[in-house]
Chain A
Amino acid sequence: MNIVRCLTLLLACILAKPAAAIPPSLHEVVETKRNVVVKLFGAGVGTLDSYGSGVLISEEGHVATVWNHLVNVGFLTAVLHDGRRYTVDVVGTSLEHDLAVLKLNSDDDEVFPFLDWRTSGKAAPGNAVLSFSNIYRVATGNEPVSVVHGVVAAETVLDAGLGRWEFPVKAPVYIIDAITNNSGSAGGLLAAADGTTLGLMGREIRHRDTDMWVNYAVPWSILKSPISTILEGRTVRTTSSGEEDRKLISDRRLTSEFGFTLLPHVLDKTPAYIDRVVPDSVAATAKLRRGDLVLMVDETVIQSANDLRAALATYRKGQRVSLTVNRDAALQVLQLRVP
C-alpha cells in the first residue's frame, strides 16, 4: 500500500468519524419527527376529545396510536403534516399495551414518511425529550403538530386512570416532567433530543394516589412485539382476566355484518344503545332503530354494550335471536337473524 493512499485513508477515517458522531440539531429533529406524526379526528364522547394523534410506522400508511375512545368509535380521519387527509381503518389492538394500529385508506402508489417501529432507544431519568402531538388541535390543515420539550423524570409502573377506567399497561412507563399529556396528545411521539424513538404519548389520566394529572409515554420497546403481531395479521394475546376473557363481537363486525353500531364503549357499563343502523342491513331488516336500548337477547339480560357484544358472539350464523329493546319508553321485541 502506498503511503499517500495510507495517509488519505487514515485522514478520511479520522475526519469521517467525528462527522458521523455529531448529533442532529434540535431543529433537524423537530423537522423530521413532526412529519411522522398525524392528527386524528373522530367523534368525541361527553368530555372526551374528538381528536388525537398517531405515529406513522410504515411507508404504506400504518399508524400506531393509543387504543382509546377515538379508535372505538371509529369514523376516524387522519391529517398529515402536509395537509393530506385520509379515512382510517383499525387493523388491530392490544389492551395491555393500550395500543391500536390503524391503516390510512390511501392509494396503492402513495408513500408516507414513517418511523421505523423496529428501532427505538431507551431513556433514563434526566434525559431531555421532545413530545410531538396534536395538542388542543392547534395545528390545523397542513400545519405540523406541536412540539413540547421536557425531561424524563422516572420510568415506573403507573397506577392511574380516569373515572372507572383503569390504566391497563402494567409495564413501567416513562414519566415526563413537563405538561405533555393534554387534550389530543394521546398517540403522539416521544423522542429523545437526538431524535431517537422513545415512546408513544399517553392519555390524560390522573394518578390513583395523588389525583394529579400524570404525563407519561408507553416505552416503544414494549410496543414492538404487539405492533409486529398486529402487522402480521395475528391477534395480540392478552393476559388480563374478567371482562376481557369474554369473547366479544368486534365493532367492525357489528357494523359490517349486523349493520349497526353501538354507543362507544367508554365506561365498563356503557349501556347498549344503538347509535347507527346501516340501511338494508340485518339490523335494518329486524327494524332496529337509532336510539334503541337493548335490554335482552333472548333470555339473557343485557346491562352493557359489552354484554350485548358477548351475547351475540354465542350465536351461530343463521340462528334467530329475539332482541328486547326499549324504544320511546316502551318495550319492543324484534327478531334478528344472525348473519
Chain B
Amino acid sequence: MRLHKQSRANRGIYNSRRPNLQSTIAGHCPNVDDNKWSLCRALVTGLLVLLVFNSTPHAAHADESSIVNRQQRRIEVIERISPSVVCVMPPGGQGGGSGVLISADGYAISNYHVTSGSGDFMKCGLNDGKVYDAVIVGIDPTGDVALIKLLGRDDFPFCTPGDSDLVKTGDEVVALGNPFLLASDFTPTVTYGIVSGVRRYQYPAGTILEYTDCIQIDASINPGNSGGPLFDIDGKWIGTNGRASFEKRGRINTGAAYAISVRQILLFIEHLKSGRIVDHGRVEFTVRTSPEGVVEVDEVSQLSDAWRRGMRSGDELLSFGDRALRSANDFKNILGIFPDSVRVPISYRNSDGVQTATVRLLPLHGFDKAPKLPEERRPEPDPKKGEPDDHPDDHEGAHDAPDEPKVPEQYAHLFQQKDGFANYYFNQQHQDRLIGSLEKSLAGNSTRADRTWELSVATTIDGQKRTGQLGVGPQAAWLELSGLRSALQPRSEYTEQNEPQLFRGLLAATLQWHRLFQDRKAFSEITYIGSEHLLPSGRIVRTLTTQDGTIQSRWYFQEGSPLPIGADVQMSVGVDEARLRFEQWKMDGPVPFPARVGIVDNDTETVRWLDVDSLKVGGTQDNKSASVEVKTEVAS
C-alpha cells in the first residue's frame, strides 16, 4: 500500500517535470502491442539483473576487501605512529614507563608517576633501537602529566594530536607503550580496544593524582604502559594512558583503563614548558546537583570574582569554560582540565536571567616541591623481579633512584633546581627570550626609573569627545580628561577609590607598566607561566608574571611581538584585577607607546579604550614631583 502510494507520488513528480514524456508513456502503455510490452519487460528484467548483479555480489566482495583494507590501514597507521613512542627509563635502567614525542626538538609527554621515580635525567628508548638522554622539563602532579625533553637530535619523529572532545564511546583505539618492558629494542607494544566511556572522573583515591574528563578504554593497559599514548584509529594522539581499575586480580589489565585527554594535556603543555610544577585550579564557590537535576551554586566566597560578578547561593551554574553542565560531576570534570590561575568564562542563571562572567582560578595545591607519591602509585615493573602479577605489591627497587644518578656531562647545564620548579633552566630560557626582545624594543630605556611619561589621550564618553593626559612617574599615576574629575593613584598606597570611574584599575596597572618598561629590577620576581586564552579577545598569549611587593601582574605576549598586548594586575585579595590592554605599539617615540590603551570592564567584559596620540618623556626627579603636586591639587 505504501509502495503504491509512493509510486503514485513518484509519478506525480515525473509528470510535473517531464510532461512530454509522461504523455507518451502513460498515454500509450495500456495499449502497447505484444512486441512493445516484451521490450519493456526485457528492459525491466535487464535492469533488475543489472541491479542485482551490480549490488549484491559486489557488496559482499566490497565487505571482504574493506576488511582487508581496514587491516592494511591499521598496520600502516601503527607503522607511522610507532616512531614517536618513547620508552622512559631511570638512568639505572630499572623499571620504566612510556611516553610520546610531541615535537621535533624532543619534547615528550609522559606520566608524572613515571618520571617522579626517574630523577632529573633519564634514558629514553625509541623504536629505532637507540637510547637518548632526556631531562625533566615540567610536571603536573595532580594531572599525572610530565614533560621531558629528549636530547641529541632536532629531528625527532613526533605524533599529531587529535581532538579528544570528539572521541565517542565505541571508537576504535590503539594504545602503544612498553607493558612489562617487553621490548629490548624499544619497539612499542600495541594493544587494541574500543572507547568504553568518555568524560569519566577518577577520584584521587588517596593520592594527589586526579583524572578528570578522561577517556575509558578496554585496550589492555598494564604496568609499563603508563605515560604511553592512546591513538584513535587514524593515528591521531587522543590521550595518555596512565591509570587502570585493578582489584582482586592483581595489577594487570582488567578491561578498564583511563587515558588523560589530549585536550587537557594541550591546555597544560606551554605551562609545562615553563619548567614549573604546574598546578590545577580551584574556584571560590561550591556546587551541587539539586534534586531537580540542575547544577546549583551552594556557597560563594565573598572575596571571589564570582561574588563580585553577582553570583549567589542558589543560582544555577549553566556552563564553565564554555561547556554546558549537566551535573556537579560534570563541573568537577571540566574544572580539572584547566591549569591554575587562568581566567575561565562561566554562565549562570539567577532571578534576573542568564549572566555571564569570567573568573580567575586559584591554585589547588601550591606545591613548592614535587610531591612524593604513595607506594601504590609507583607502578612500573622491575623485570629482574619476575612477572609483576606474581608480586603485585612489590615495586620496591623499580623506582629507587640509583645511588649516584648519572648526569650526562654535556647536558648538566640543562637542569637547575629551584623551589616551585621541576627544572628552572627552562623558565630562565623563556624569561630571557621574552625580556630580551622587550629590552631590545625599549632601546636602552629600561633603567631610567626616574622618568615620567605623559601620554596625550582622547576618548568618547556618552557621545562627547574628551581629551586629556595619562601620566605616570615613579611615585604616582594620574588621568585627567576634559570635563571629568581627575584621578591620581600614588604608588606608595593603593586605594581603589582613587581609580577613575570609567577606567577602574587603569592607574594601578599603568604604574606596573611603567615599572616593567623602566625599572624591572624593582620586581622581586619574574616568572614565565605558559600560555592561555586572553579574555575577552580569546587570543592565545604567553604569560610572564612579575611580583612587586604584594602586587602580582600577568603580562601577555603574542607570538612574534616583543611588546605585551595586555596585563592583568592583582592589587590585593578581594579586589577586582586591573585588566590593561594595549593595541598597536608605535616605536617612533623615545619610549614605545600603544596607539590605544584600554581597561577591561569586569562587569561587561568589554574594553573601554583611550586613543593615544603621543608620549612625552619627562626629565628629572624635580619635574616629576612638581607635576605630581599640581595634579594632586586638581584631584582634590
Which residue in A2, A13, A31, A178 is a CB contact (below 8 Å) of B255?
A178
Q: Is the CB of A9 within 8 A of B3?
A: yes
Selected interface stretch from A65-73, A132-140, A317-325: A132-140
Whether, in the assembled complex, A196 has its beta carbon less than 8 Å from a beta carbon of chain B, the answer is no
Contacts of B10 in A (CB 8 A): 8
Contacts of A18 in B (CB 8 A): 55-56, 59
Selected interface stretch from B23-31, B140-148, B358-366, B434-442: B23-31
Whether, in the assembled complex, B197 has its beta carbon less than 8 Å from a beta carbon of chain A, the answer is yes
Smallest Cβ-Cβ distance to A215: which chain B residue: B255
Q: Is the CB of A3 within 8 A of B218?
A: no
Which residue in A10, A31, A142, A148 is a CB contact (below 8 Å) of B44?
A10
Selected interface stretch from B157-165, B243-251, B345-353, B529-537: B243-251
Contacts of A330 in B (CB 8 A): none
Contacts of B26 in A (CB 8 A): 2, 4
Contacts of A30 in B (CB 8 A): 168-170
Whether, in the assembled complex, A53 has its beta carbon less than 8 Å from a beta carbon of chain B, the answer is no
Selected interface stretch from A179-187, A224-232, A251-259: A179-187
User: Cα distance A156–B134 when bound, in Å?
Assistant: 53
Which residue in B25, B193, B216 is a CB contact (below 8 Å) of A149?
B193
Q: Is the CB of A8 within 8 A of B197?
A: no
Contacts of A14 in B (CB 8 A): 48, 51-52, 55
Whether, in the assembled complex, A144 has its beta carbon less than 8 Å from a beta carbon of chain B, the answer is yes
Residues of A in contact (CB 8 Å), total 42
Q: Which of A293-315 contact B (CB under 8 A)?
A: none
Whether, in the assembled complex, A284 has its beta carbon less than 8 Å from a beta carbon of chain B, the answer is no
Q: Is the CB of B29 within 8 A of A4?
A: yes
Q: A182 with B256: in contact, given A14-B52, A143-B199, A147-B194 (CB under 8 Å)?
A: yes
Q: Is the CB of A2 within 8 A of B55?
A: no
Contacts of A9 in B (CB 8 A): 3-4, 7
Whether, in the assembled complex, B196 has its beta carbon less than 8 Å from a beta carbon of chain A, the answer is yes
Q: Which of A1-39 contact B (CB under 8 A)?
A: 2-10, 12-14, 18, 26-27, 29-31, 34
Q: Is the CB of B6 within 8 A of A12?
A: yes
Whether, in the assembled complex, B431 has its beta carbon less than 8 Å from a beta carbon of chain A, the answer is no
Contacts of B254 in A (CB 8 A): 179, 182
Contacts of A138 in B (CB 8 A): 197, 200, 202, 216, 245, 256
Contacts of A12 in B (CB 8 A): 3, 6-7
Q: Is the CB of A182 within 8 A of B255?
A: yes
Whether, in the assembled complex, A121 has its beta carbon less than 8 Å from a beta carbon of chain B, the answer is no
User: Cα distance A6–B30 when bound, in Å?
Assistant: 12
B292 to chain A, nearest CB (A): 11
User: Cα distance A236–B251 when bound, in Å?
Assistant: 41
User: Cα distance A80–B633 when bound, in Å?
Assistant: 70
Contacts of B329 in A (CB 8 A): 140-141, 143
Q: A10 with B47: in contact, given A83-B327, A144-B169 (CB under 8 Å)?
A: yes
Contact mask B7-51 → A, CB, 8 Å, 1/0?
110110010000000000110011000000000100010011001
Q: Is the CB of B218 within 8 A of A149?
A: yes
Smallest Cβ-Cβ distance to A182: which chain B residue: B254
User: Cα distance A204–B8 when bound, in Å?
Assistant: 59
Q: Is the CB of B44 within 8 A of A7?
A: yes
Q: A5 with B197: in contact, given A14-B51, A18-B55 (CB under 8 Å)?
A: no
Q: Is the CB of A148 within 8 A of B196?
A: yes
B509 to chain A, nearest CB (A): 43
Whether, in the assembled complex, A117 has its beta carbon less than 8 Å from a beta carbon of chain B, the answer is no
Whether, in the assembled complex, A112 has its beta carbon less than 8 Å from a beta carbon of chain B, the answer is no
Smallest Cβ-Cβ distance to A147: which chain B residue: B196
Place the interface of chain B in its size category: 35 or more
Q: Is the CB of A135 within 8 A of B293?
A: no
Q: Is the CB of B197 within 8 A of A146?
A: yes
A178 to chain B, nearest CB (A): 6
User: Cα distance A83–B330 when bound, in Å?
Assistant: 12
A246 to chain B, nearest CB (A): 32
Q: Is the CB of B248 within 8 A of A47?
A: yes
Whether, in the assembled complex, B326 has its beta carbon less than 8 Å from a beta carbon of chain A, the answer is yes
User: Cα distance A179–B246 when bound, in Å?
Assistant: 12
Contacts of A3 in B (CB 8 A): 25, 29, 40, 44
Whether, in the assembled complex, A86 has its beta carbon less than 8 Å from a beta carbon of chain B, the answer is no
Q: Is the CB of B169 within 8 A of A34?
A: yes
Whether, in the assembled complex, B428 has its beta carbon less than 8 Å from a beta carbon of chain A, the answer is no
Contacts of B29 in A (CB 8 A): 2-4
Q: Is the CB of A83 within 8 A of B168?
A: no
B565 to chain A, nearest CB (A): 40
Smallest Cβ-Cβ distance to A180: which chain B residue: B255
Contacts of B513 in A (CB 8 A): none
Smallest Cβ-Cβ distance to B21: which chain A residue: A4
Q: Is the CB of B326 within 8 A of A5?
A: no
Smallest Cβ-Cβ distance to B59: which chain A residue: A18
Q: Is the CB of A5 within 8 A of B11?
A: yes
Q: Is the CB of A142 within 8 A of B326?
A: yes
Q: Which of B59-106 contact A (CB under 8 A)?
A: 59
User: Cα distance A12–B48 when bound, in Å?
Assistant: 11
Whether, in the assembled complex, B289 has its beta carbon less than 8 Å from a beta carbon of chain A, the answer is yes
Contact mask B165-190 → A, CB, 8 Å, 1/0?
00011110000000000000000000
Contact mask A102-145 → B, CB, 8 Å, 1/0?
00000000000000000000000000000000011011111111
User: Cα distance A34–B197 when bound, in Å?
Assistant: 10
Smallest Cβ-Cβ distance to A145: which chain B residue: B197
A249 to chain B, nearest CB (A): 33
Q: In the complex, which of the residues B56, B197, B255 has the most CB atoms of chain A within 10 Å of its own CB atom?
A: B255
Contacts of A2 in B (CB 8 A): 25-26, 29-30
User: Cα distance A30–B196 when bound, in Å?
Assistant: 9
Q: A147 with B170: in contact, given A8-B11, A141-B327 (CB under 8 Å)?
A: yes
Contacts of A141 in B (CB 8 A): 289, 327-329
Contact mask B228-263 → A, CB, 8 Å, 1/0?
000000000000000001011100011110000000
- List 27 A-B pairs, Cβ < 8 Å: A2-B25, A2-B29, A3-B44, A9-B4, A9-B7, A10-B47, A12-B6, A26-B194, A27-B169, A34-B169, A83-B326, A138-B202, A138-B245, A141-B289, A141-B329, A142-B327, A144-B197, A146-B197, A146-B216, A147-B169, A147-B218, A148-B194, A148-B218, A149-B218, A182-B255, A183-B247, A213-B249
Q: A8-B10, A149-B218, A179-B255 are in contact. List 15 more A-B contacts (CB 8 A).
A: A3-B40, A5-B11, A12-B7, A14-B55, A30-B168, A31-B170, A135-B256, A136-B247, A138-B256, A140-B201, A143-B197, A147-B218, A182-B247, A182-B254, A183-B247
User: Ordered nearest first, which 5 A-B pairs have the shortest CB separation?
Assistant: A179-B255, A30-B170, A8-B7, A146-B196, A136-B245
